[in-house]
Amino acid sequence: MSVGRRAVFLDRDGVLVEEIVRGGRAYAPLRLEDFRVVPQAGRQVERLRAAGLTCIVVTNQPDLARGALHPHALEQMHAHLRTEVHVSDIYVCPHASTDGCACHKPKPGLLRAAARKHDIDLAQSFLIGDRWRDIGAGRAAGCFSILLDRSYSGCDAADARVGDLGEAVDVILSRLTG
């Protein structure tokens, strides 16, 4: 029986895209003009890809369900993200947390769907996120989960805690060779 490939699941906002923080809470951009890719994101994802890892974005976008985010704006944001950061795929949960879907993080539905499509071994894969929901999804899927520790993270269950994306990539690369 063949083993699937290894992947890194990356949350979008707060990991690859600059978070918008107001009143101690983080928010996703709702307009393309507010969508800013983290300056080091492209370089860090290239480091992961060079190590043979499949890089996939997994993001909750409940503002779609609320009507605050237009689907066309989301498409534009993701087109921009793909030009700056070369990821294999982007998976979006368009539901509110109260909708009861299987894909809204901390549920692992997005990761499991990506694993099926891309032949990924979840137990040999990683997740990088900045909130408890991300880490919960990664752990529920069996991934090694790395928290980019922020004031709003609300998480104490991560396998590793780091300050930025570069440090998260360092942790992953050291685990591949260690």
Instruction: Spot the catalytic one: 11, 63, 130, 134.
Output: 11
Whether 11 sits among the annotated catalytic residues: the reply is yes
Q: How many angstroms separate the CA atoms of 112 and 141, rounded?
A: 7
Task: Return the bridge partners of 82, or none.
Answer: none
Structure tokens at 111: 């990761």
Q: How many angstroms separate the CA atoms of 134 and 121, rounded?
A: 18
Whether 63 sits among the annotated catalytic residues: the reply is no
* Environment class of 178 (CB within 10 Å of its CB; exposed 0-12, middle 13-18, buried 19+): exposed
**Strand 160-162 to 144-148 pairing:** parallel
Q: How many angstroms separate the CA atoms of 37 and 117, rounded?
A: 26
Instruction: Spot the catalytic one: 13, 63, 130, 134.
Output: 13
3-class DSSP state of 178: coil
3-class DSSP state of 26: strand
Cite the active site residues: 11, 13
